[in-house]
Structure 1
Amino acid sequence: MKQSVCRFVLFVSLCASALGAIAADNKVIEKPVVADTAEKFDAQAAEIRKEMSSGGRYEYIRPDERAKAETDLNSMAAMLQKSGSVAAMSKDERVQLFNTQEHVNGILTHSDSYRLVCERVAPTGSSIPVTKCRTVADIERNRLDTKKAMQDAMTIGSKCAGSNCRGN
């Protein structure tokens, strides 16, 4: 009896740790960029640029936000290349680097596909609001699919075939 309870507890703890590892990949990264040295930052910047491409974590970033993030990443790289590391920077340079880092982190956190957006809406036929949560990726996919469906309906629906046309 004791052995079966121990096995059950072990099984549950292993399952929980496995689920925790899976769920960890889908969490919003609070600080995507942490600049320390030029080498570490270059690796981080390359990873972020990869994630901003199609299929990446930040694929739904707006073009103007992407340009701002690129500018910030390039600015941070230049500051770190000049000094070598944060420790070698003057106080003013560190403040400027930190502010730029916070700006790019804000942009990336806002554009993270796994960020959860919740809203309280009343479903059709009810006046009782319900909390509905979706990820940024789900919202953007839905928006793009709806836009494509509307464009397809306008294109296909506007074609006139045979005797079904008005005015014929």
Structure 2
Amino acid sequence: MYKLMLLALLALAPTGASIASSNDAFAPEKGLDLSRSFEAQREAILKALGDGETYSEIAAEDLQIVKESLDRISSLLDGAQSVGQLPEGTKVRVFNEQERINTLLGRAHADSRVVCKREKPTGSNRPANTCMTVAERRRAREGATDFMRYQPKAQARPDSR
């Protein structure tokens, strides 16, 4: 029993390496932060873009813009240890690229959030779970609104008496 408890505590205890990497890692909720290691965050962003979950609702053109912006920041930071060492004009360009990335990734992350509802399907008394991303729910709502708005109205039949 003592060995089992010791193993459980060791498994839960953070190591120095994991603390350092968690401080430099990218958090989708917070966005890109250039006061921390850019290369570690860049790798984390690219990994999150490829996992099919974190940013599942990102548009193809937005994905391309994010990758290009990451490449531009890499080239602008080339050789500099921090953003503070860059000339003012370069700092502005890096900041603009950072904001573009944070805006696109923030929107995609919010749209990729899965929301589940317990609903009764039409014609049934048995509730079922319906899970969709925020963007899927928005598209379904807009599609239903468009259908009702643009559906031709039924013509009243003339009285045949």
**TM norm structure 2:** 0.51
Paired position in structure 2 for 1:60: 57
Paired position in structure 1 for 2:88: 91
Q: How does 1:11-50 map to 2 (within 5 A)?
A: 29=29, 31-36=30-35, 40-50=37-47
How much has 1:80 moved relative to structure 2? 1.3
Query: 2:31, 2:113 → 1: CA distance?
Result: 13
The residue type equivalent to 2:134 in the other structure is V
Query: 1:115, 1:93 → 2: CA distance?
Result: 38
The residue type equivalent to 1:95 in the other structure is V
Paired position in structure 2 for 1:106: 103
The residue type equivalent to 2:104 in the other structure is I
Seq. identity, %: 25
Query: 1:85, 1:65 → 2: CA distance?
Result: 27
Of 106, 111, 136, the match for 2:134: 136
Q: Unaligned 5+ residue runs, structure 1? A: 1-26, 117-133, 144-168
The residue type equivalent to 1:60 in the other structure is E
Change over 3 Å in CA distance of 1:36–1:78 after alignment to 2: farther
Say what the alpha-carbon RMSD is for the aligned residues.
3.1
Change over 3 Å in CA distance of 1:64–1:96 after alignment to 2: same
SS at match of 2:67: helix
**TM norm structure 1:** 0.49
Change over 3 Å in CA distance of 1:92–1:57 after alignment to 2: same
Query: 1:115, 1:76 → 2: CA distance?
Result: 31
Query: 1:136, 1:90 → 2: CA distance?
Result: 41
Q: Could you tell me whether the CA contact under 8 Å between 1:33 and 1:101 is conserved in 2?
A: yes
Query: 2:46, 2:84 → 1: CA distance?
Result: 26
Q: Could you tell me whether the CA contact under 8 Å between 2:69 and 2:101 is conserved in 1?
A: yes
SS at match of 2:50: coil
Change over 3 Å in CA distance of 1:93–1:32 after alignment to 2: same
Q: How does 1:107-122 map to 2 (within 5 A)?
A: 107-112=104-109, 113-114=112-113
How much has 1:91 moved relative to structure 2? 1.1
Q: Could you tell me whether the CA contact under 8 Å between 1:28 and 1:114 is conserved in 2?
A: no
The residue type equivalent to 1:99 in the other structure is N
Paired position in structure 2 for 1:75: 72
Aligned length: 97
SS at match of 2:63: helix
